[in-house]
Amino acid sequence: MQWYYSKGAVQLGPISEAELKAKIASGEITTSDMVWKDGMADWVPLARVPELIAKAPAAAQTPPSIPGGSASPYIPPVSAPHPSVNHSGLPIPNYLWQSIAVTVCCCLPFGIPAIVYAAKVDSLQAQGDIQGALAASKSAKTWVMVSICSWLAVVVLYILTAVIVGVSGVH
């Protein structure tokens, strides 16, 4: 379970429960600091979370009052979507094998940018940059298509040249 906490009106996290308990035990997080995790309705002082309070130092065990009543000044963090899927829930293709294939078989100059963009897709997903991953995927696909089209254009020109030379009888 991932926890968020606040120090001096700054939201921090996510951190694991073990990390949070270590910070509590060391006194880095006090019972008056606010904490939150998925499933909680709002931010609450650490002193009001029984599962964590056992690890808190003995000082300041009474729950502090929240200014302005029960409303917390903090907004729960929005859970990021899983990095391997885009906004529609479908996996983001990286076009890596296609990029390598067109580089080796078709057109080296246009295949290299395809490989570069394809390699970026997974790392951007891992960082949670879905829009960046989608843009890199689109660029990789574009360069793959440019490479294939340029190869086809060369083949067509070669065939046309062979036909024209064959028809004209030039040896």
pLDDT for position 138: 94
**Burial class of residue 125 in the structure, from the number of CB atoms within 10 Å of its CB (0-12 exposed, 13-18 middle, 19+ buried):** buried
pLDDT for position 168: 87
**Thinking of the domain 1-79, which architecture would CATH place it in?**
2-Layer Sandwich (3.30)
| 104-147 tens-digit pLDDT | 988 888 889 999 999 999 888 888 888 899 999 999 999 999 99
Rounded to an integer, what distance in angstroms lies between the CA atom of residue 85 and that of residue 90? Answer: 5
pLDDT for position 71: 54
pLDDT for position 149: 93
pLDDT for position 60: 43
DSSP string for residues in 54-102: TTS-STT-SPPPPTTTT--S--PPPPPPPTTB-TTSPBPP--HHHHHHH
Report residue 149 as tokens.
């089209």
Give residue limits of the domains in the chain.
Answer: 1-79, 96-168
Question: Treating both helix axes as pointing N-terminal to C-terminal, what angle do 130-168 and 96-105 enclose, rounded to 10 degrees?
Answer: 30
Rounded to an integer, what distance in angstroms lies between the CA atom of residue 134 and that of residue 121? Answer: 7
pTM for the predicted model, two decimal places: 0.47
**Burial class of residue 145 in the structure, from the number of CB atoms within 10 Å of its CB (0-12 exposed, 13-18 middle, 19+ buried):** middle
Rounded to an integer, what distance in angstroms lies between the CA atom of residue 126 and that of residue 83? Answer: 6
pLDDT for position 83: 45
pLDDT lower than 70: segments of the chain? 54-89, 170-171
